[in-house]
Structure formats: C-alpha cells, structure tokens
C-alpha cells in the first residue's frame, strides 16, 4: 500500500547527522524513562525496573485543520455514545445476531440484561472515551474514525508528557521556533478529574476508586500516573488495584448494594482490564463483573457503555438514518457522518451479501474486524479474502464487520525502541490520532461533557496495526501544520 500514499513533510529536515542523532537518542531515552514515558519489559519482566516506551524521536506532522476537527467532534461523539448506551432497544436489535455467535459479547450482554431487568443502581454513568483516527489520503486528507474505545482507553497518562518530550528534543536541536506547533495536552488531568467528579457524586468521603487491572501489568506508568494524579488533585482519595479474580474472591455487596472490597467501599471503578476473553479465565471473573455491575459503584465503563463501544454498534451507527435517532441538530449529525468511513455489516441479508462480495473482489480495500479490543484481531489484504471464503456461509460472519481500509499519508522519521540500534534507521511511518473525552450523566441529563486531550501513536508504514503496548507502535505527538 505504501507506494500509493502521499507524503507529509517532516517537522525538520531529515536525515539528522549520525553524531548528533546518536547523542540525542541517548538523552531522549533517559528523558523518557525519567518522566514516566516507560513500560515494564516483556522480555525480562521485573516489577523493579522500567524500559522507556518506544517513541518517535521527532514529532510527526499532522494537518492542524484535521486535528481541530477531531477535537471539536469529541463532545458530540461523547453525547452520541452516552445516548446509545442508554437505548436498550437499539443495543438489543443491533447485537441480536452477534451475541448468538460471539460468546464473549454474548456474556457481556447477559450481564447487561440481568442488571437492566433488576434495575440499574449506579446513579450516573462515567465515560472515559478515546476516539481514534487516521488521515485518509483518498478523502482529501480528512480524518476518518478507526474506532471509539469505551473501555480501558489507554495512554492518556503517558501521552500527556509527550509534547514536553518533543519540546526538549527540538530544543536540543536548536529548533526553538518549532515548539509553538506542539499543542498542549492535558489528557491525564482531564481523565482523573472525570473520575474525581464521579467520586464526588457518589458522595462517600471514605470510599475508594478501584482500578481493575490485568494479572501482570506491562503498561504500568500509564496506570500509576492516573493514580498519582488523583492523589495530587484530591489528597484524600485512595486508589486500589485489583484483578477480576481478586474481586471474585474478595468482593461483596452490602445491603445498600455498595461494593465492598477488603473492607473498603468502592465509589468508582476504572477498568483497565476486562475487555478480552483472556481476562475471564473462569466463571469467577464473570461473576465479579456481574457483582460490580449490580453495585452502586460508578463504573467506567458500565456494561451498557462497554456494549456501546463494540464494533458492531459502530457499524450500525453508520447506516443511513441511524444517527438521527440519537442526535437532533443537523450540524452535529453532519460532523459525525463526516468522520465515518465505509462500514458494512455481514448479516444474512442483501446488504451483508453485497459486503461479502466486495471483500472477495477487492480484499485490499478492506479490514475485517471481529468484536474484540486490544489489537491483533483484525484481518487485512489477502487474508480478508481467505477468512471471508471460510466463513461466508456460516452464522459466524454476523459477528464480524467489514471496514473500508484507511490509507494514511506517510512520514519519514526515527522510531526508537528498547534494545534497538543507535543510531536508529530512518523509516517510513504512519500515525493514528486519539482524542480523549469525558462524559458523566444519566438517561435524562448530561452533567459533564468534555474533550480533555489527545495521543498520537505511529508505526512503520508496512505494519497493519500499531498498538504501543502490543509492541508495534511508538508514542508520538502531533506537530501541527497548515
């Protein structure tokens, strides 16, 4: 695909001379570690040490108009997700086929129905969202949405220090006038203020905030930074970390449906795990999810927000006439529709059959996606055709969506990884922008609705996916150009 894509200019001329580059990379690595742009090593894991997180040495250029478009549409997307999450009929019809063939989504849906029937006890919903975009060179370099994350939207913590990191790098290179093109980023504070706002609404000064975490956390900085920020913003609020298994072992509800863990009342639950089947090794973890869902604790996400973030829902929202069910102003509808790219369902109907045919005829134009989060689950290129051929006559296909492949412009720069060579090689890259949003409200009213910051991650142009935690992407920050 890379030959077809146009190029964005780099923020300063590259290559950088070898001597300058080597010294700069050494300093930049230490800056990253010492400011928490770091992760635990997967290769030699230790709770006592950190590696720097992979980074892009120079900030990648991003058209300022498209950056602003992404920022401005966020509060409309927040509102959209919030309304979708509160519409039982829409979620039920949209996911009807999917939950019969996709066991994981089916299990989430069972919990959803249980608590809907029993009556939801949390007072308000807290959405900590991240909408992801790439520039589509086939649409006049407009941004197109990759997906919206309603669970475990990560990198708000580390991304907040990336503009400072790139400011330092540019200063080292003597490029002082370039610094004004790095937009401020307050994602961390924004997300933590959202959690604290929910904590306040819960109304128990002794109650804690619970982070649901994986058994082993590699992306530790991006969770501890939140924890430390919460203490900084309100010194009286304690954060505890537990796995789903630990909640299963030690969690209970008191007579007021408050969640109690190890004697502590939980006011807010922030999920950094629970989005993939592997996080639920046994029934105990599913029971833990149901227990939390039944509780008064304000969950980010609550189960209906989790379901509203599925890829099937994303695809359903792109069908004509659907946005109108949730948004009233034509201008809002237009700005959301503008960021959608082709999204197709694979139901057994005329439209689904057409989509199957499109994928078989031109597999390179599409990405095939199941109902999964966390990276590494999609199919690209010739695999789209192979997988489609295998499943086109089985019910399984209804749990997948077909999405038009976004072709982002290329940029040239240096990706620096732990144990990589110094100097790093110059490479062709593509970037993906994430915009963070916070929303709090109930089915009647919205109390808080904000855009709070951004993150940029960049990968070599030949990689299909660029998850930083998954090891393919690198942290970056946007360098805005006209």
Give the nearer residue to ligand ADP in terms of CB position, either 442 or 465.
Answer: 465
Can residue 150 be called a binding residue for ligand ADP (CB under 6 A)?
A: no
Give catalytic status of residue 154 as yes or no.
Answer: yes
Q: Is 342 helix (H, G, I), strand (E, B) or coil?
A: coil
Q: Is 180 helix (H, G, I), strand (E, B) or coil?
A: helix
Give catalytic status of residue 174 as yes or no.
Answer: no
Shortest gap between Cβ of 139 and ligand ADP (angstroms)?
A: 12
Can residue 381 be called a binding residue for ligand ADP (CB under 6 A)?
A: no
Give the nearer residue to ligand ADP in terms of CB position, either 157 or 466.
Answer: 466
Can residue 66 be called a binding residue for ligand ADP (CB under 6 A)?
A: no
- Which one of the listed residues 457, 459, 473, 477 is annotated catalytic? 457
Contacts of 75 (CB under 8 A, 6+ apart): 437, 449, 450, 451
Can residue 424 be called a binding residue for ligand ADP (CB under 6 A)?
A: no
Q: Is 475 helix (H, G, I), strand (E, B) or coil?
A: strand
Name the DSSP letter for residue 399: G
Give catalytic status of residue 373 as yes or no.
Answer: yes
Strands 298-300 and 401-404: unpaired
Can residue 367 be called a binding residue for ligand ADP (CB under 6 A)?
A: yes
Give catalytic status of residue 130 as yes or no.
Answer: yes
- How many other C-beta atoms can be found within 10 angstroms of the C-beta atom of residue 366? 24
Helix (H) / strand (E) containing 228: helix 221-233
Q: Which stretch binds ligand ADP (CB under 6 A): 35-43, 162-170, 215-223, 368-376?
A: 368-376
Cβ atoms 458, 415 nearer than 8 A: yes
Can residue 466 be called a binding residue for ligand ADP (CB under 6 A)?
A: yes
Cβ atoms 74, 437 nearer than 8 A: yes
Residue from 113, 138, 147, 287 binding ligand ADP (CB under 6 A): 147
Residue from 374, 381, 420, 471 binding ligand ADP (CB under 6 A): 374
Give catalytic status of residue 147 as yes or no.
Answer: yes
Q: Which stretch binds ligand ADP (CB under 6 A): 36-44, 161-169, 225-233, 365-373?
A: 365-373
Which CA distances in Å does 116 have to 83, 112, 311?
Answer: 16, 6, 22
Tokens of 473: 């992407």
Report how far residue 417's alpha carbon sits from residue 450's, in angstroms, rounded to the nearest whole number.
34
Could you give the residue numbers annotated as active site? 130, 147, 149, 154, 311, 369, 373-374, 457
Catalog residues that contact ligand ADP under the rule CB under 6 A: 132, 146-147, 367, 369, 372-375, 377-378, 403-406, 432, 465-466
């Amino acid at each position: 695909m890379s030959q077809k894509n146009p190029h964005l200019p780099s923020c300063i001329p590259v290559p950088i001379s070898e001597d300058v580059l080597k010294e700069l990379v050494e300093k930049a690595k230490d800056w990253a570690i010492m400011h928490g742009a770091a992760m635990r090593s997967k290769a030699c894991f230790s709770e006592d040490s950190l590696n720097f997180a992979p980074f892009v040495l120079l900030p990648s250029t991003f058209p300022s108009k498209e950056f602003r478009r992404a920022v401005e549409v966020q509060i409309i997307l927040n509102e959209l997700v919030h309304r979708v999450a509160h519409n039982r009929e829409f979620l039920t019809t949209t996911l009807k086929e999917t939950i019969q063939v996709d066991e994981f989504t089916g299990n989430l849906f069972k919990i959803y129905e249980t608590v809907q029937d029993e009556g939801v006890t949390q007072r308000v919903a807290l959405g900590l969202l991240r909408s992801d975009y790439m520039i589509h060179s086939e649409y006049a370099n407009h941004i197109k949405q990759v997906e919206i994350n309603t669970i475990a939207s990560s990198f708000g913590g580390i991304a907040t220090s990336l503009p400072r990191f790139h400011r330092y790098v540019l200063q080292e290179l003597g490029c002082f006038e370039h610094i004004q093109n790095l937009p401020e980023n307050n994602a961390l504070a924004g997300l933590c203020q959202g959690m604290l706002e929910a904590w306040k609404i819960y109304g128990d000064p002794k109650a804690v905030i619970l982070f649901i975490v994986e058994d082993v956390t590699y992306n530790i900085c991006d969770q501890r930074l939140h924890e430390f920020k919460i203490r900084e913003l309100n010194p009286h609020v304690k954060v505890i970390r537990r796995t789903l298994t630990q909640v299963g072992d030690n969690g209970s509800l008191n007579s007021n449906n408050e969640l109690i863990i190890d004697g502590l009342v939980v006011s807010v639950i922030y999920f950094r795990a629970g989005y993939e089947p592997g996080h639920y090794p046994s029934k105990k973890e599913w029971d833990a999810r149901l227990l939390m869902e039944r509780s008064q604790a304000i969950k980010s996400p609550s189960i209906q927000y989790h379901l509203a973030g599925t890829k099937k829902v994303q695809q359903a929202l792109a069908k004509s006439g659907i946005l109108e069910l949730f948004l009233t102003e034509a201008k809002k509808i237009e700005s959301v529709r503008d960021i959608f790219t082709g999204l197709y369902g694979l139901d057994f109907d005329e439209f689904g059959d057409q989509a199957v045919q499109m994928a078989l005829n031109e597999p390179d134009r599409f990405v095939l996606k199941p109902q999964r989060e966390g990276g590494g689950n999609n199919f690209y290129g010739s695999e789209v055709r192979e997988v489609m051929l295998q499943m086109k006559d089985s019910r399984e296909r209804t749990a997948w969506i077909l999405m038009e492949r976004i072709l982002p412009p290329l940029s040239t720069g240096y990706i620096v990884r732990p144990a990589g060579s110094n100097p790093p090689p110059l490479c062709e890259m593509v970037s993906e922008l994430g915009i963070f949003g916070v929303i709090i409200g109930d089915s009647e009213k919205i109390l808080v609705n904000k855009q709070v910051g951004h993150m940029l991650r960049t990968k070599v142009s030949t990689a299909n996916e660029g998850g930083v935690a998954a090891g393919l992407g690198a942290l970056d920050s946007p360098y805005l150009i006209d």
